């Protein structure tokens, strides 16, 4: 899968994809993540990418020209399945959206900034508008990092069987059960006996029960989806 991210602040995205699982996914050739500096597409002599908004609205708006050129340049090189815009007024991102994006071949993520982008870009180029939560970030870069991270880890071969995404919280509308590691007892705090029993069936049943109990308690909204009530 190839993800092209268009941003005015490429520096913010230097680190998130260069560690651990995402780094290995890139090294194995399972994911290609390419960061584009929007200013490189500006035809302004000062590489400007924003301008004052028409009408009374205060604040700068990302201009149509550099974005149109960036998107058209990429589209002339390959076909894209989705062109995503990160914005607080987009559709809320969740595991289901991550799952569906992980099935795509090529996507573009355009990071929002300032007071927004010229609406004509949204009307004519953007195929999906995504918010990562009901709060406002200073820009869409961290949202793009969240989307990319959650999608890339789902690609076949990125996670080992042990860390398989199938057992993630949210995949079946259940939170994950608690986990423990050695020692079995620390300063009087004990690991539940069942996990030391060696009985796989008992352990699996316990994990499932715990997942249900935690979801009921911590995320009653998810539990309703799980139980279909």
Binding site for ligand ADE (CB under 6 A): 86-88, 112, 131-133, 135-137, 140, 143
Smallest separation (angstroms) from ligand ADE to the CB of 171: 22
Nearest residue (CB) to ligand ADE, 145 versus 165: 145
Smallest separation (angstroms) from ligand ADE to the CB of 18: 22
Q: In whole angstroms, give the CA distance from residue 44 to residue 83.
A: 24
The residue among 69, 87, 128 whose CA lies nearest residue 104 is 128
Nearest residue (CB) to ligand ADE, 130 versus 159: 130
Beta partners for residue 6, in sequence order: 36, 110
Smallest separation (angstroms) from ligand ADE to the CB of 184: 42
Question: Within 10 Å of residue 68's Cβ, how many Cβ atoms?
Answer: 16
Nearest residue (CB) to ligand ADE, 63 versus 137: 137
Give the CA count within 13 Å in the CB-facing half-sphere of 118: 16
Smallest separation (angstroms) from ligand ADE to the CB of 156: 27
Q: Which run of H or of E encompasses 95?
A: helix 95-101
Nearest residue (CB) to ligand ADE, 121 versus 211: 121
Which residues neighbour 176 within 8 Å (Cβ) at sequence distance 6 or greater? Answer: 167, 168, 169, 211, 214
CB–CB of 97/127 below 8 Å?
A: no
CB–CB of 226/215 below 8 Å?
A: yes
Residue nearest ligand ADE, CB atom distance = 143
Smallest separation (angstroms) from ligand ADE to the CB of 61: 14
Question: Within 10 Å of residue 207's Cβ, how many Cβ atoms?
Answer: 17
Angle at 212 between CA 210 and CA 213, to 5 degrees: 65
Nearest residue (CB) to ligand ADE, 25 versus 137: 137
Smallest separation (angstroms) from ligand ADE to the CB of 141: 9
Smallest separation (angstroms) from ligand ADE to the CB of 114: 10
Nearest residue (CB) to ligand ADE, 54 versus 135: 135
DSSP 102: T
Nearest residue (CB) to ligand ADE, 126 versus 143: 143
Q: In whole angstroms, give the CA distance from residue 70 to residue 78.
A: 13
Q: In whole angstroms, give the CA distance from residue 14 to residue 32.
A: 14
């Amino acid at each position: 899968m190839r993800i092209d991210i268009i941003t005015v602040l490429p520096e913010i995205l230097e680190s998130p994809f260069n560690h651990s699982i995402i780094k290995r996914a890139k090294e194995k050739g399972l994911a290609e993540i390419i960061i584009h500096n929007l200013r490189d597409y500006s035809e302004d002599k000062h590489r400007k990418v924003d301008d004052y908004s028409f009408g009374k609205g205060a604040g700068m708006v990302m201009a149509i020209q550099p974005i149109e050129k960036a998107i058209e340049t990429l589209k002339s090189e390959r076909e894209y399945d989705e062109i995503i815009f990160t914005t607080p007024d987009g559709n809320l991102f969740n595991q289901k959206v991550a799952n569906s994006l992980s099935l795509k071949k090529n996507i573009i993520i355009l990071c929002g900034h300032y007071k927004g982008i010229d609406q004509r870009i949204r009307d004519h180029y953007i195929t999906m508008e995504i918010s990562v939560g009901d709060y406002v970030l200073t820009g869409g870069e961290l949202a793009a990092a969240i989307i990319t991270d959650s999608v890339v880890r789902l690609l076949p071969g990125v996670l080992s069987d042990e860390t398989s995404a199938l057992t993630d919280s949210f995949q079946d509308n259940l939170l994950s059960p608690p986990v423990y590691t050695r020692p079995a007892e620390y300063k009087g705090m004990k690991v539940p006996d069942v996990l030391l029993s060696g009985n796989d069936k008992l352990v699996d049943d316990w994990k499932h029960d715990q997942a249900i109990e935690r979801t009921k308690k911590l995320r009653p909204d998810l539990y309703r989806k799980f139980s279909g009530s």
